[in-house]
Amino acid sequence: MAYKEELWQEAKKKCRLGEAEIKMAKEMGLNPKSLIKNIPNKNEMWKAPVKVWIRDMYEERKRKSERKKENKQAEFDRCKPPGFGYLSKKGRLKCIDKFRIYLRDSVLHISIKNHTEKKRDYYGL
C-alpha cells in the first residue's frame, strides 16, 4: 500500500530519520504511522530509537533472505544430475534420484523416487 508523502515526511521529522532509513522502511513495507508509534518514551529506556530499530530489522531480514537463497542453491547443487529436480507444492526444490516413465493400458505413468520421499506416482498425464 502506498502512503502519502506527507506521512513519510512527518515520520522522518518526528523520528529523526534520514533518506536511507525511509528507503529501508518503504522497502520493508512499513507504515509511517507505525514508525511514529514506535518512538521510545522516557519510561521505555529498553526501546531502541526508531533509526536503529529500522536498520537492525532491515539487516536481519536481509541476512535471512540471503541464507534462504544459499539454502536453495545448496539444495539445487545437491541434485544429480545437476539441476534435475522439481518444485513441491510448498515451492521447495526436491531432488530426483530415480524416475521411470512407462505406458500401461494406454495411460502414461511417471514414477519418481527422491531422497526425502519414498515413492510418488503420477498417472494419466
- What tens digit of pLDDT does each residue of 69-115 get? 888 777 766 655 554 555 566 666 566 656 666 666 766 666 666 55
CA-closest candidate to residue 112, choices 103, 104, 121 = 121
Q: Is residue 86 part of a domain?
A: no
- In a shared domain, residues 49 and 73: yes
Q: How confident is the model at residue 124 (pLDDT cuts 50, 70, 90)?
A: very low
What cell does 54 get? 529500522
Q: Is residue 84 part of a domain?
A: no
From the number of C-beta atoms within 10 Å of its C-beta (0-12, 13-18, 19+), residue 17 rates as buried
Q: Is residue 45 part of a domain?
A: yes
Q: Which one has a higher pLDDT value, 124 or 33? A: 33
The residue range of the domain holding 108 is: 93-123
Residue 108 pairs with which residues in a beta bridge? 103
Q: Is residue 87 part of a domain?
A: no
- In a shared domain, residues 101 and 56: no
Residue 103 pairs with which residues in a beta bridge? 108
- In a shared domain, residues 67 and 104: no
Instruction: Quote the number of domains for the chain.
Output: 2
